[in-house]
Amino acid sequence: MSGHSKWATTKHKKAIIDAKRGKIFTKMAKLITIAARDGGGDPSSNPSLRTAIDNAKSASLPKENIERAIQKGAGGGDSAKIEEIIYEAYGPGGMALIIECLTDNKNRTVAEVKAILNKYNGSFATAGSVSYLFTKQGEIVIDTSENKMSTDEMEEAIIESGANDFEHDEDIILVYTSPNSLHNVKDALEKSGVPTESAGLTYMTNTTNDVDPSKKESAIKLLETLDDLDDVNRVYANINI
């Protein structure tokens, strides 16, 4: 699929065995809390919560952490402070960035993101000046190495699920959907016997650009440093690496 940003998506499997698992757990818990706060604490009637829980389980988030995050969201209180914020920015060589954050302190988050952008010759962009380069859609990750079905069987199930498109990336298959059909496609795949590793909304690049070789190292370092921030959920870039 043209416009696919491999930097943003090949991190799915790596995230499960990332040495910084504590930060991953924190991000997973925030997503569960927000889903429970916005749609209620019953996953059977809250597809967003069900998906957040499934993703957390795939990342080995302990059961007690999941339950605590649900209770925090459903009970209100401090959960109301957690916000989803999207920043648009530019990086080395003019690469376009979308920085997706989950935070309980906007001032802290914007200060930390700004400091990293400044360090690696990046800057914030005005609203809308970057987002038009991306398309928001659903993304479902299937780990083919842990699936007993043949590739042909999985592809047939994907086509019949109502997905918009799919592509192979080493030992995973990335399935794309419209934002509104993400949960329905995920349920259809699992009913067909295709286990999913994770699912969520993502920003796909409409076009990708090559980075000047002299700026490649700083571009990668910028992406990695942003991703390491506790308040940053995901980072998307329109570049080939």
The confidence band for 223, taking pLDDT boundaries of 50, 70 and 90, is: very high
Q: Which CATH superfamily is domain 133-204 in?
A: YebC, transcriptional regulation domain (3.30.70.980)
Mean residue pLDDT across the chain: 88
DSSP secondary-structure letter at 204? E
**pLDDT, average across residues 15-19:** 49
Q: Are 123 and 88 in contact (CB under 8 A)?
A: no
Query: By C-alpha distance, which of 216, 202, 213 is closest to 98?
Result: 202
Q: From CA 56, how far away is CA 5, in angstroms rounded?
A: 23
Give the homologous superfamily in CATH for domain 83-132+207-240.
Answer: YebC, transcriptional regulation domain (3.30.70.980)
The distance between the two most distant Cα atoms of the chain, rounded to a whole number of Å, is 51
Mean pLDDT in residue range 53-67: 93
State pLDDT tens for residues 176-200: 999 999 999 999 999 999 989 999 9
CATH 1.10.10.200, applies to 19-81: yes
Nearest alpha carbon to residue 99 among 241, 215, 239, 236: 236
Domain 133-204 in the same topology as domain 83-132+207-240: yes
Within 13 Å and on the Cβ side, how many CA atoms surround 193?
Answer: 9
